[in-house]
Structure 1
Amino acid sequence: MSEQKTKKPPLWFWIVSILALLWNLMGVLAYLGQAYMTDEMKSEYSQEQLSLMESTPAWITAVFAIAVWGGLLGCIALILRKKWAKPVLLLSFFAIVIQMGYSFFMTNASEVYGAVQGIITPILVILIGAVLVQFANIGIKRTWLR
């Protein structure tokens, strides 16, 4: 069985991969900010926002962690041109869908945070997660990833 030779990816592959890495780093920072929130940070939120955050089940926080750390690892794999970027990004995407599904259907996040932070941003996160899975798939099909 012969190993398929990988091709050199175009410049736009690197641009998208680096932007995706930066996007996922922002997600990691959001997770860390929520997981290690200080009293000073809590003072910046309304009582409704704090109540919503504090009522979030531990399993959703774990799903959030899987989403952001998986996304970060998947984007690192893209930059390293590794095929395993796809399953890691797929895992991250499923975690995003679960997390945002909980937010949309099990909480009043859209009322508490408003339309932008409660609806538009979560939809954008879902879309970017899906696009990154497809991006990895394209990289595999075009033999940019090995």
Structure 2
Amino acid sequence: MNNETVGGVHWSFWAIGAVTLVWNVMGVINFFMQMNADARASFPESHRAIVVGRPAWATGAFAIAVFGGALGCLLLLLRKPAAYYLFIASLLGVIVQLIHTLGIASSTIDFSPFEISMIILMPLVVAAFLIWYSKWAESKGWIR
């Protein structure tokens, strides 16, 4: 083993896997907080309006996005090729959820630039990156 690899895999694989797992676990925590009425009460009014008014299909998409991403990251760290398919499901969940956020919620809520980046751009970028990265890591032989 040299300074650049751990178990034949470049150290960056483990770092990216760990950081994106933390990102997706934060999404899972956010999901559970949104399902808890006491936690929702502490949200800013704009966020509470999104959660309370969200239809079941958008909530389901949110669940697929965060749980698919978290499980995909876990499988990525375990070097399993099924991570790729969970990342695709996660991206689809993100897109469907954003249909609600952009199409319905944004008509009544004025999002700040920070909210736009965290609610809209970051989930899309991270989900798309993980799809690409899992295939790239597989091509390097890091995923078996």
Q: TM-score scaled to structure 2, two decimals?
A: 0.86
Q: CA deviation at 1:110?
A: 8.1
Q: Distance in 2 between matches of 1:86 and 1:110?
A: 36
1:30-69 matches, cutoff 5 A? 30-38=30-38, 41-46=40-45, 48-69=46-67
Between 102-111 and 76-85, report the one with greater CA deviation: 102-111
Match of 1:100 among 93, 98, 101: 98
Q: Counterpart of 2:59 in structure 1: which amino acid? A: T
Q: Distance in 1 between matches of 2:55 and 2:40?
A: 20
Give the match's secondary structure for 1:143.
coil
CA gap 1:140/1:32 in 2 versus in 1, 3 angstroms: same
CA gap 1:84/1:107 in 2 versus in 1, 3 angstroms: same
Q: TM-score scaled to structure 1, two decimals?
A: 0.85
Identity %, equivalent residues: 26
Equivalent residue number for residue 122 of structure 2: 124
* Total equivalences in the alignment: 137
**Greater RCO (Cα-Cα under 8 Å, separation 6 or more):** 1
Is 1:28–1:68's contact at 8 Å kept on the other side of the alignment? yes
Equivalent residue number for residue 29 of structure 2: 29
| Structure 2 gaps, min length 5 | 1-6
Q: CA deviation at 1:41?
A: 4.2
Equivalent residue number for residue 11 of structure 1: 11
Q: Counterpart of 1:12 in structure 2: which amino acid? A: S
Q: Distance in 2 between matches of 1:125 and 1:134?
A: 14
Give the match's secondary structure for 1:67.
helix
Is 1:92–1:129's contact at 8 Å kept on the other side of the alignment? yes
Give the match's secondary structure for 2:73.
helix
CA gap 1:21/1:110 in 2 versus in 1, 3 angstroms: farther
CA gap 1:13/1:109 in 2 versus in 1, 3 angstroms: farther
The yes-or-no answer on 1:142 pairing with 2:130 is no
Q: Distance in 1 between matches of 2:50 and 2:97?
A: 14
Q: Distance in 2 between matches of 1:12 and 1:138?
A: 13
RMSD of the alignment, in Å?
1.9
| Structure 1 gaps, min length 5 | 1-6
- What do the CA deviations read for 1:75-96 (whole angstroms, capped 9, x no partner)? 0001100001100111101111
Q: CA deviation at 1:59?
A: 1.1
